[in-house]
Chains A and B, each alone.
Chain A
Amino acid sequence: MEQPFAITLKVESSLANHTGSWRVERPQYVNLMPPCNNACPAGENVQKWLYTAEDGSYEEAWRALIVENPFPAIMGRVCYHPCQTVCSRGQLDEAVGINSVERFLGDLAIEKGWSIPVTAPSTGFKVLIIGAGPTGLSAAYHLRRLGHAVTIRDAADLAGGMMRFGIPKYRLPRNILNAEIARIEDMGVRFQMNRKVDNVQDAIDDGFDAVFLAVGAQIGKRAYIPAGEAARILDAVNVLHDVADGEAPLLGRKVVVYGGGNTAIDVARTAKRLGADEAMIVYRRTREKAPANDTEIQEAIEEGVLMKWLSTVKHADAGVLKIEKMALDEKGFPQPTGEFEELEADSLVLALGQEVDLSLINNLADVEVRDGVVHVDTNMMTGRAGIFAGGDMVPAERTVTTGVGHGKKAARNIDAWLRKEKFEKEPIPKVVEYADLNPWYFSDAPHAVRPRLEGARRASNFDEVVQGLDESTALYEARRCMSCGNCFECDNCFGVCPDNAVIKLGPGKGFEFNLDYCKGCGICVTECPSGSIIMIPEKS
């Protein structure tokens, strides 16, 4: 069949016309910083492990998670999830329940007995970690993964630090805590419990190449409160520690806890579980200003803990406290009103902050202390080379997650220092803002609310308060993630290009722009739900 000249054309003969020459700017796939990753004190790659979990690859997701944080099951119970506060999904309907999914993965790992092999070759270096709390354990974990020999020394008989002795069982069940610590021990970390270190220098002389100090802030701050002889005043940290040891102190029927932080809430809720008829928080400022996590406050209220805001304890006597009411001035600060009232109380528990026991560094002149905490440089090293510090004993937000993050950062710096290198953190790409996303594409799907025990029922035992998600709801929750700044293969770019200039490489392999034909119209950028494409100027 002889086709006529010019009138009739072969199919796709237009491929000879490289319309890419029209461009003045071109699209580029990027990986930006999701706000959740950016907010996580432990530096988790939240977006990545959520993405991995979305198709049911839970073990793979868990393994992605524990690259940064060895304690997902613990996190899922005690972390205050700043990731959720900044989660972009929160601006659409509700934040993704990242914390719930993390807990799901952590619990699944324990159930399945997933372990963490150490594949890095032995470096020959020995690192001593003083303090088996979250910071020390995290450092041990990361150093061990890097192939170092790690020894942890702690004064207590069991590892865990504040996770065991500060956080009550109903928030963090002991079997979970033990399982995640045991997994670290199984990696070959040496634990020397009941070994309080009084002198760091001695420890160094034991043959360690580097030391990481993570003893925490275990001493309850003492405020001077005028008290009668028979007044029963206890320290919150000690109360919690004793309860954890199984030696619950007698607090009486009416317990007042003085302070507005998480420790105060923990004690008040514990008091109820110990059988107090009444547990009351007395705090100088308002609920909004109280440093305690608001969810904790809410749960406490649901359990029947009473809240007395804008009040200070002026005098303690046996069975009764004198309380002064405060009022906010024009600047919002509490001022004494001169109005007093009496409160029945069998015991007063002080939860006014915690201090670091600095005795162990007394002999180290070059380790600087400022405002009661140890000063470290950006590489987490103290003034003495080879001695690093982190967690509650350095300036920090005092949470378990922050401690875990410190442990990781310190481990990486110690590793670099041992190899006589400098640890260079990768530059952080731009943090994704909500305006970078195209939320239209996300199905309407509110947060799957994590179920909780009924408040009153909760208060009478130490059963875990917040239940977890099951698989279908965890999956649902993970899939609500908008994958900010990172392609999740929705095929939008592949579909919306009028010039068929996006090449789909295959499931799991992402996409490529066909620059021979891309005219630089930018529809792909506008329609990318996750903001993973940007336009850059064409080089002239």
Chain B
Amino acid sequence: MSTDSVKFYQVGSFAIGNRLLPAAAGSVQSDMERTNALTSGHRACQGCGEALGARYAIDAAMRAADDKVIAVNATGCLEVFSTPYPESSWRIAWLHSLFGNAPAVATGVAAALRAKGRSDIRVIGQGGDGATVDIGFGPLSGMFERNDDVLYICYDNEAYMNTGVQRSGATPAAARTATTQAVGPEPGNVFGQGKNVPRIAMAHEIPYVATATVADLRDLEAKVTRAMEFRGSRYLHILVPCPLGWGSQSCDTVKIARLATQSGLFPVFEAERGEVVSSTPIRQKVQVEEYLKLQSRYSHLFSPKRRDDVIDKLQAAADRNIERYNLMPEGDL
């Protein structure tokens, strides 16, 4: 009788935790002593992907940095719902300055720490897609060019959510927002060439760039941990669904993020110094429609009549990602 000795842990690496795993191999989120950098009482909407992503990322960073982290936050949902006077739901050292300057402020924090000989304290700059892709883009590029020792995290919910769901440079094609409404011959956001900040970060040849979503915690934590192994500028782009802005059910946040990756629309990969070094293969491929139909920001593609012309274009974009990042390697499941 042949036996394969493989340690099998029932839910493997897809779930947050596993009672059969030794504690040292567990995720940060499964640990009862996790930092809970963003704790209860904040005013995020029910099912907010950004609140989840922020806690995931910062808790992982805190563990990697021995609890020595300072975070700089741009204006946006995360900042607004977490620090309305008199309540702050942060448990770490945290600074909010302006909308467009989080990367620069983070640079300043890192410089001060270096001047004081405290480079053991690690710096995170974070903001939404608006703060990163649009208004903060100049400072972001400056930070990258100087290779300042900051991990910058973009929580991408694909629009200016806090001000009422207006289009940003990260809004995907065909999506409805308050400034790209679902009316006229081309409803929703235009089909442009997009603004791929992970690739722009790679063009700056900074030590580490990665994408992740809230649907795969272990992957996200691994990437934060890996990022913290580097010094210099690092960029992490996390897809965080927004039930309000995307028009999805609050209970579907993690599921929708998963469908984004499994359809190929949001590729999950890592790059070092400008070269892709790994990508997370698609485990259960779906057509983009499975992802689109859960969000009413795409409902105009299905009713009053189906817009297969648009859906096909979106599918083509997903397929291009699959090829470009080798998301379905030959011979894999």
Known contacts A12-B90, A15-B40; A519 and B10 CB within 8 A of each other: no
A189-215, CB < 8 A from B? none
Whether the Cβ atoms of A54 and B36 lie closer than 8 Å is no
By the criterion CB–CB under 8 Å, are A500 and B17 in contact? no
Residues of B with C-beta under 8 A to A12: 39, 41, 88-91
**From A18, which residue of chain B is reached at the shortest CB distance?**
B41
The answer on a CB contact under 8 Å between A443 and B251 is no
A310 to chain B, nearest CB (A): 38
Stretch at the interface among A219-227, A368-376, A468-476: A468-476
B42 lies within 8 A of A491 (CB): no
Asked if A80 lies at the interface with its beta carbon under 8 angstroms from chain B, I say no
How far, in Å, is A360 (CB) from chain B's closest CB? 47
| Residues of B close to A441: CB separation below 8 A | 11-12, 14-15
Known: A19-B40, A479-B20, A494-B16. A520 touches B30 (CB 8 A): no
Residues of A within 8 A of B16 (CB): 490-492, 494-496
Minimum CB distance partner of B1 in chain A? A451
> Which residues of A are found within 8 Å of B6, using beta-carbon distances?
476
Cβ A496 vs Cβ B254 within 8 A: yes
**Residues of chain A contacted by B51 (CB below 8 angstroms):** 498-499
Contacts of A491 in B (CB 8 A): 15-18, 27, 29-30
* B40 touching A500, Cβ below 8 Å: yes
Q: Is A112 an interface residue (CB 8 A)?
A: no
Interface stretch, picked from B79-87, B200-208, B225-233, B322-330, is B79-87
Please pick, from B8, B17, B333, the residue contacting A495 in the complex, using a CB distance under 8 A. B17
Tell me the bound Cα distance from A362 to B84 in angstroms.
86
B44 within 8 Å of A (CB atoms): yes
Given A10-B88, A495-B30, A523-B47, does the pair A443, B14 have CB atoms closer than 8 Å? yes
How far is it, in angstroms, between the C-alpha of A17 and the C-alpha of B87 when the chains are bound?
8
Residue pair A14, B253 in contact (C-beta under 8 Å): no
Q: Report how far A13 CA is from B82 CA in the complex, Å.
A: 10
Q: Are A470's CB and B3's CB within 8 A?
A: yes
Which residues of the other chain, B, contact A11 by a CB distance below 8 angstroms? 88, 90-92
Q: Is the CB of B11 within 8 A of A498?
A: no
Inter-chain contacts of A428 with B (CB < 8 A): none
Residues of B within 8 A of A442 (CB): 10-12, 14
Smallest Cβ distance from B50 to chain A, in angstroms? Answer: 8
User: Does A444 have its Cβ within 8 Å of any Cβ on chain B?
Assistant: yes
Q: Is the CB of A495 within 8 A of B250?
A: no
Could you tell me the distance between the alpha carbons of A497 and B44 in the complex, rounded to whole angstroms?
12
Bound-state Cα–Cα, A520 to B243, Å: 13
Residue of B9, B89, B253, B258 with most chain A CB atoms under a 10 A cut-off: B89
Contacts of A54 in B (CB 8 A): 10, 20
**A507 beta carbon closer than 8 Å to chain B:** yes
Give Cα A11 to B38, complex, Å. Answer: 10
Q: Which of A166-174, A243-251, A267-275, A525-533 binds B?
A: A525-533
A444, B52: Cα distance in complex, Å: 27
- Looking at the assembled complex, report how far the CB atom of B62 sits from the nearest CB atom of chain A, in whole angstroms: 13
Given contacts A443-B9, A467-B1, A488-B10, contact A494 B30 (CB under 8 A): yes
Cβ of B3: which chain A residues have Cβ within 8 Å of it? 470, 472-473
Whether B249 sits at the interface, judged by CB under 8 Å, is: yes
Chain B residues lying within 8 Å of A519, measured Cβ to Cβ, are 46-47
Interface presence of B217 (CB below 8 A): yes
Measured CB to CB, the nearest residue on chain B to A8 is B88
Give Cα A517–Cα B38 distance, bound, in whole angstroms: 13
Contact B86 A13 (CB under 8 A): yes
Cβ-closest chain B residue relative to A487 = B19
Q: Is the CB of B48 within 8 A of A492?
A: no
CB B213 to nearest CB in A, in angstroms, measures 12
Contacts of B87 in A (CB 8 A): 9, 13-14, 16-17
Instruction: Confirm or deny: A22 has a beta carbon within 8 angstroms of a beta carbon on chain B.
Output: yes
Q: Does A516 count as interface, using CB distance less than 8 angstroms?
A: yes
Task: Say whether A55 faces chain B, with CB atoms less than 8 Å apart.
Answer: yes
| A11 and B20 alpha carbons, distance in the complex (Å) | 34
Interface residue from A440, A488, A522 paired with B249 (Cβ < 8 Å): A522
Asked whether B8 lies within 8 Å of A443 as measured between CB atoms, the reply is yes
**Interchain CB contact (< 8 A) of B40 among A451, A495, A517:** A517
In the complex, which residue of chain A has the Cβ closest to the Cβ of B40? Answer: A517
Measured CB to CB, the closest approach of chain B to A517, in angstroms, equals 4
B163 at interface, CB cutoff 8 A: no
A445 at the B interface (CB under 8 A): yes
Chain B proximity of A231: nearest CB distance (Å): 45
**Cβ-defined contact, B39 with A498, below 8 A:** no
The 4 closest A-B pairs by CB, nearest first: A491-B17, A495-B16, A522-B251, A14-B41
- Other 12 A-B pairs with CB < 8 A, given A443-B8, A492-B16: A12-B41, A15-B89, A19-B42, A54-B10, A470-B1, A488-B10, A490-B10, A494-B30, A495-B27, A498-B51, A523-B52, A526-B252
11 A–B pairs (Cβ distance < 8 Å), ordered by A = A6-B86, A12-B91, A17-B41, A18-B41, A472-B3, A479-B20, A496-B16, A498-B48, A498-B253, A500-B40, A526-B254
Q: Which residues of B contact A (CB under 8 A)?
A: 1, 3, 5-6, 8-20, 27, 29-30, 32, 36, 38-44, 46-49, 51-52, 55, 82-83, 85-92, 217, 243, 249-255, 258, 284, 333
